[in-house]
Structure 1
Amino acid sequence: MDRLEYFSIIAPDIGQIFRFMAVVTSLPLAVTVIYGEWEMFVPMALVPLIFLLVGSLLVRVPHPAREARLSIALTAVALIWFSSALIGSVPFIVGLQMPVTDAIFEAMSGWTDTGLTLLPDVDQTPKTLLFWRSFMQWLGGIGIVAFTVALASRSGLIQRGLYRSEGRSEAFMPSVVGTGMAMWRIYIIITLASIGLVLLSGVPLWDAVNLALTAIATGGFSVHSAGIPYYQNHLLELLLVPVMLAGAMPFKLYYLMYSHRKVSFFGDRQAVALLAFTLIGFLVLTADFIFLMGHDLFTALREGIFMATAGITSTGFQNTSLHVWPAVTTLFLVMFMFIGGSSGSTAGGLKISKVILGLEGLAWWFRRIFVSGKAIVPFRHEGRTVQKNIAEIEVSKNMLVIILYFVSVFFCTIAILHFEAQTTVDSSKVIFEVVSAFCNNGISTGFVNPDMSFGSKWAFIFLMWFGRLEIVPVLVLFMGLIKGFD
């Protein structure tokens, strides 16, 4: 199929999503009005205007009457996310005169819930743009496509392939269209509850709103350069822990609570595993802080629970500097960042569901080694026996994604080390930042900064994009552009 013909199939659906994004992205203009930042009105208004213009053009593209294949949905999702980062960068370019690459980095970090930043001074940034960063993370947390399903549900492509191609949303709810509006309500209710919880710490409403938006989205942007330590508020740190965990839980549990009044957190393996990982991380980090760093018990407990939660939920908040951590403690946090939160949540990382399936697959493989070749060893997943041929396909696909994650981290680390070859670089810090970006975490050692090379900045942009969509949609897009879509 010709590339233009291929694009004509997906163009109307992308355009429809962009037009709805134009409506949603108009909200930050209210901040401009409230705080009287009129110089930011035009830069911020350009975002919904561009979404509207581009969307209106795309919906008018003539498209052939043929069934949309999975590759079309994957390509569309990859294009939607990258285009959103390009459009989202406009206020930073026009309003702050940021370099184009830095602005795209900032927007991609926002949409993908990563939380790494290249802003030169967050405290001096206009409130309109600070809220825009938080709002991008909030929208990106549940997924750009997922957030427009309720309004664009008449599109057959969106109903199935497009929605399910968006990496973090695949297990959100059992029925895409039928529960679209419920998705909006659930996310808004949880966000409002989070704002109320954060307000109990005594921080101002402005700070509470932004912190809650980025915490429930497991994003990690802050409205101060110093981040969470700026507040010197131990109660705030404690209250953010349940908000981060709430964002990393499988959202289908909230749907069951909302629609069936059924609470089943401890009946879901991902939820139980998330809490177990958090507890393990808390114990290990606390012990390291006490015995390896000499912290007092209260400081060790406070930093241990916060950083363990921020690591496993892929939230970029941090209440301590990683520069003083022992190497073994930093490596442990890297493992947590790599695992990430639950599938169907706002969290990044490999996902707990893939870790569980990978361990089940390894156990199944070893059991088959020690029995007769004629013996049938059943594969059980989530309490059900799965047919052998289906199990082999699903386990293989799962292991392929895991391998792709490791390969991506390896090659991007090598590339960035080459880009920074003229400077003195600690390779362990590069590895940490690459994992943080690829797993959309955002916890930083300080390596990511505006002085990075041009190549390194773009490597991180692609890392965040790849990680947010779990690699495959972006690979399909690149392969189609290179080899064609036939």
Structure 2
Amino acid sequence: MADRRLDTLRHAVRWPVLLKHLGMLGVVLALLNGVPLLATVIGGEHRLIAAYALPLLVLLAVSLPLARLTASERLQLNEALAVVVLAFLIGSLVMSIPLAQAMAGPRGGWLDGWFEAVSAITTTGLSTAATVEDKPASFLFARAWMQWYGGLGIVVLSLALFLHNGMFARQLMETEAVGETLVSSTKTYARRMLAVYVVLTVGAVGCLWLATGDGFVALTHGLSAVSTGGFSTFDASVAGWSPLAAGTALLFSLLGAVSLPLWHRAWQQGWKQGWRGGLAELGRDPELRLLLMATLTIAGLLWLWAPTGEGRAADALLLAMSAQSTTGFAPTNVAALDDASKLTLIASMLVGGSVGSTAGGFKLLRLLILLRLLQLVLARAATPRHAVLGVHLQARQVADEDLWRVLLVVLLFVGLAFVSWLAFVTHGYPALDALFEVVSATATVGLSAGIARPELEPVLKLVLCLDMLAGRLEILALLVLLHPGTWFGKRTEVA
């Protein structure tokens, strides 16, 4: 009976609405990906110009007519999720061609190019390239640039579209206006986040330029740091950098793992009440406190497991910052770490950073809610049966809908990592290294145990691509896209 009632309320996506918004995003993607094309022209890399230009021209030719369609601005949730997923897929496919062309080599091919594009746009940082130091500058810039706009895109789209109905999403978006549509509130939210994102990026590039003395290195690593992406222009990542340079890169990575709406609220309070008001706003945020505590705890454990030697404390701290922020810059050879260190990093990567940040993982907010739920279960053992208890966070009760969503997302993250892990173990890879690799991909981190490489089996490259996309889109969005009810069934009026 309940299923029949649900069927009468369910509505499939409206094609005009979906196509119009895909067209609008397609135009934006074409403009964004025109930046690497411009860099290729300026750099005089003539053999790659056509590879960058042709996919963008095709995307514009398809997107412009679609963007002009007449359709409703009010998106259903399944339409919003479909737009998010398809935007990331289209963006990665468009850039797969020039990246594959730039990677052309004995084992190069389109799949490697798509792997790099997926890793870039999902802000992961895993790579199958044997070396990047011999690659064109446009290739290195394109990956960092894709990470930068992919990070901003997921902050805006995931919160504004995916979590719009949740209490904590409304709090993060700072909007509860009844008359606002999903699109209009997204635009307001996007402008705020863009301002914060640009300020962090300018700060990162400027500080890294001072620390490294190289403008191109500062630009590419600054874009990767703020987006918690982790692509580097060096095969050894940030290993071998001076402590000042590596620390600067990882510091901005940690800042990128903090909720961008929190930075905006802190700036507003600082403007009204002075710097003390801004610091007070930051200090009240439980996710930020947990992020710092988790980073220091992971650093302590890594220092404990590490063999004695000079610089191990600094390496432990930098590696903890890289894993907890899900950035993926490697201050040391991760593949050579002991099993205890790898397990510690797996736990850190799986949790990730704050909701509303560019970080991956299942997010610190969900961990906080799970801890509150555990606290509630323990409290019920000492209270009368008729006592009314609930899960509270920041003096607000967590709604049952939000609680079930948290449990479901965490379960899906663990389930996806487990299924992907089985695929690698079946192919004969060491169990712990395989688990490390799939968690790194699913949490969009980019640290590697050495499995991601040119010789990796094509089917496993596809598994990692699926992990990166699903993890970046919080899995549920991808499931909605694959659900038949999204595409078939009764539709509401377009207007």
Q: Normalised by the shorter chain, which TM-score bucket?
A: 0.7 to 0.9
The answer to whether structure 1 residue 59 and structure 2 residue 70 are counterparts is no
1:124 and 1:267, CA in 2 relative to 1: closer, same or farther beyond 3 A? same
CA change 1:288–1:206 in 2 (3 A) is same
Deviation at 1:414, TM superposition (A): 0.9
CA displacement 1:460-482 (0-9 Å, x = unmatched): 01000000011001001111379
Aligned to 1:150: none
TM-score (norm 1): 0.88
Contact kept, 8 Å, 2:103 with 2:113, in 1: the verdict is: no
Equivalence for 1:174: 174
TM alignment of 1:146-161, pairs within 5 A: 146=156, 161=161
Q: 1:447, CA displacement in angstroms?
A: 0.6
Contact 2:155 2:357 in 1 (8 A): no
Q: Which residue of 1 aligns with 2:438?
A: 434
**Contact 1:310–1:318 (8 Å) recurs in 2:** yes
CA–CA distance in structure 1, aligned partners of residues 165 and 473 of structure 2: 8
The SS at the match of 1:277 is helix
Aligned counterpart, 1:130: 140
Contact 1:308 1:333 in 2 (8 A): yes
Tell me, yes or no, if the aligned pair for 2:12 and 2:488 is still in contact at 8 Å.
no
Alignment RMSD: 2.7
2:111 corresponds in structure 1 to: 101
Contact 1:106–1:117 under 8 Å retained in 2: yes
Name 1:78's counterpart in structure 2.
85
By how many angstroms is 1:60 displaced? 5.0
Change (3 A) 1:20 1:165: farther
On the 8 A contact 1:170/1:343 being kept in 2, the answer is: no
Query: Percent of aligned positions with the same letter in both sequences?
Result: 26
**Contact between 1:416 and 1:459, CA under 8 Å: does it hold in 2?**
no
Q: Structure 1 residues 160, 115: closer, same or farther in 2, change over 3 A?
A: closer
Asked if the contact 2:100/2:110 (under 8 Å) is kept, the reply is: yes
For residue 361 of structure 1, give the secondary structure of its aligned residue in structure 2.
Answer: helix
Q: CA deviation at 1:277?
A: 1.0
Question: Take 2:303 and 2:249, find their aligned partners in 1: how far apart are those partners?
Answer: 18
Q: Would you say 1:375 and 2:387 are equivalent positions?
A: yes
Alpha-carbon distance, 1:200 to partner? 2.4
CA contact (8 A) 2:155 2:356 kept: no
Pairing partner for 1:241 from 250, 265, 290: 250
Q: Quick check: 1:171–1:343 contact (8 Å CA) kept in 2? A: no
Q: Counterparts of 1:72 and 1:465 in 2: how far apart (Å)?
A: 18
> Which residue among 290, 296, 309 is the counterpart of 1:273?
290
Secondary structure at the residue paired with 2:402?
Answer: helix
Q: What residue is the counterpart of 1:404 in the other structure?
A: 412
TM-score by length of 2: 0.86
Match of 2:336 among 307, 324, 341: 324
2:362 is aligned to 350
Q: 1:50 aligns with which of 40, 45, 58?
A: 58
Residue 184 of structure 1, CA deviation: 2.0
Distance 1:439 1:462 in 2: 12
Distance across 2 between alignment mates of 1:377 and 1:344: 28
| Pairing 1:190–2:200 present | yes
The answer to whether the Cα contact below 8 Å between 1:364 and 1:379 also exists between their aligned partners in 2 is yes
Once the two structures are TM-superposed, the CA of residue 54 in structure 1 deviates from its matched residue by 2.7
Number of aligned positions between the proteins: 460
Once the 2 structures are TM-superposed, how far is the Cα of residue 70 of structure 1 from its aligned partner?
A: 1.2
Tell me the amino acid that sits aligned with residue 120 of structure 1: A
Q: Find the counterpart in structure 2 of residue 152 from structure 1.
A: none
Cα offset, 1:159, TM superposition: 11
Q: Which runs of 5+ in 1 are unaligned?
A: 148-157
Tell me the alpha carbon deviations over residues 206-263 of structure 1, each in whole angstroms, 9 at most, x when there is no partner: 101101110111110011222212x542221121231111100111122124444251
Distance 1:463 1:357 in 2: 24
Describe the shift of the 1:141–1:304 C-alpha distance in structure 2 as closer, same or farther (beyond 3 A).
Answer: same
| Equivalent residue letter for 1:68 | L
Q: Is the 8 A contact 1:77 1:165 kept in 2?
A: no
What SS is found at the alignment partner of 2:83?
A: helix
